[in-house]
Amino acid sequence: MISLNSFNIFGNSLGGCPSELTNMPVINVEILKLGLRIKALRKVLGMNKKSFSKQCGLDRSYFAGIERGERNLTFSNLCQICAGLNCDIAAVTKGIPHPRTATK
């Protein structure tokens, strides 16, 4: 199982502001963060997009769109991806969306 504590996928290690990570307009920052986390974890496993998407039963171009934050994936597809990453959904989605602080 992947240990998420062995590397920082939750902080700024993936780059600066999400809008700086791609030239596409950022419509949903949470979907982009999720895609970048999935990509980081896939790379830790040393797998390319083609073989990983095939292992998960997803189309390669659809999976690439998930990693770029262009696809709002279903729960079922997220389950398939997490199975391929050998982690649970909570590990991939921790802190997404960012917890809102209560206003006083």
Instruction: Enumerate the domain spans of the chain.
Output: 4-93
pTM of the model: 0.72
Q: Which two tokens stand for residue 98?
A: 């960012």
CATH class of 4-93: mainly alpha
Tokens of 50: 């083609």
Residue-wise pLDDT for 23-78, tens only, equals 555 568 999 999 999 999 999 999 999 999 999 999 999 999 999 999 999 999 99
Distance CA 96, CA 104 (A): 23
pLDDT higher than 50, residue 92: yes
State pLDDT tens for residues 19-33. Answer: 455 555 556 899 999
